[in-house]
Amino acid sequence: MFRTIIAPQDALIQQLVPIVTQACEILRAEYQAYVAGDDFSIEKKTDDSPVTQADYRVNQYITEALEKIFPQMPILSEEGKHTHRQHWTSFWMLDPLDGTKEFLHQRPEFTINLSLIDGAHTSFAVLAIPCEQQIYFCPKQGQPLKYAIEKDVWSEYYLSEQQHTVQVGLSQSSQSKPQYQLYLDQLEKLTEITEYRAGSAYKFCMMLEDRVDIYPRFHPTSEWDTSAGQCLLERIGGGLIDFQGRPFVYNQRASLLNGGFIAYRNNDMKKLALQALELMSSLA
């Protein structure tokens, strides 16, 4: 949950607010054009996943803006080149449109993901929801912040003591993958649950809003899909771990593809989520 505060004086946030705000406006305009049926370029990547003119346009804007302010800081973007990344110790990680499939299915649950990697870990993060005109920031110190663009209002995360049914966040595509139902069946043996389906890193934002407690993921993601969300969750006492209970680290492997993970809002949810995973493993 969040409560209103005065605008933060964090220098890095102040530098990024106009960049991310404009990127949100660009992406909203692209989405409105697509929904209206305007001419719209859609391509296929080598892995057969879609990429659109919106991905490219936002990527170009953000990378050029970052390069002007931080000329010495490399950028690892989904839509960029990754050839020299093994030599980087600090860099920006960017997904200019996380949830391209949501975008193409006209579901406004796509995000912009930006994070600062220091060593193997994320030290600063931004998750923006263009269609809601909301930006979440994880500063280098302190609790996550939220900026409502249209209202020009800042708020800060605080821990809510609300009790509710355990809310499980799932991707839209999870309905066609049997391991998700198997996991939910085991979780239901432990507690009462409700399901919340949404795309992309949007689910991480909903975890900050107390709308999702556990987010299991059994099909692939890439590092730019999880870095910002993991940073935000860890800051509130939650996290994101692999199926052996280890937090994700970044830019440490030849591949940028992630394995499966469990994201959780707090330690109670972590224990519950791992119990269900153990039950699921025992059935294999």
Number of domains in the chain: 2
Domain boundary among 138, 157, 176: 157
Q: Which of 14-18, 169-173, 189-193, 272-276 has the lowest mean pLDDT?
A: 169-173
Paired strand residues for 266:
none
- The helix or strand, by DSSP H or E, that contains position 111, with its residue range, turns out to be strand 111-118
pLDDT at position 283 is 87
Report the CATH number that the domain containing residue 185 is assigned in CATH.
Answer: 3.40.190.80
Range of the domain at 59: 2-157
Tell me: the pLDDT tens digits for 208-231? 999 999 999 999 999 999 999 999
User: Is residue 188 located within the same domain as residue 264?
Assistant: yes
User: Is residue 141 located within the same domain as residue 176?
Assistant: no
Query: Averaged over 188-199, what is the pLDDT?
Result: 94
Q: Which two tokens stand for residue 200?
A: 């992309």
Beta strand 261-264 with 239-241 is: antiparallel
User: Is residue 73 located within the same domain as residue 113?
Assistant: yes
Q: Could you tell me the pLDDT band of residue 164, with boundaries at 50, 70 and 90?
A: confident
In the predicted structure, residue 35 carries a pLDDT above the cut 80: yes
Quick check: helix, strand or coil at residue 52? strand
Contact 184, 168 (CB under 8 A): yes
pLDDT at position 74 is 96
Tell me: the pLDDT tens digits for 68-124? 999 999 999 999 888 889 999 999 999 999 999 999 999 999 999 999 999 999 999
User: Is residue 178 located within the same domain as residue 90?
Assistant: no
User: Is residue 40 located within the same domain as residue 126?
Assistant: yes
In the predicted structure, residue 163 carries a pLDDT above the cut 90: no
Report the CATH number that the domain containing residue 30 is assigned in CATH.
Answer: 3.30.540.10
Domain boundary among 157, 187, 210: 157
Mean pLDDT for the chain? Answer: 95
Domain boundary among 106, 125, 157: 157
User: Is residue 200 located within the same domain as residue 98?
Assistant: no
User: Is residue 74 located within the same domain as residue 178?
Assistant: no
Which is nearest to 196 in space by CA: 179, 219, 176, 174?
A: 174
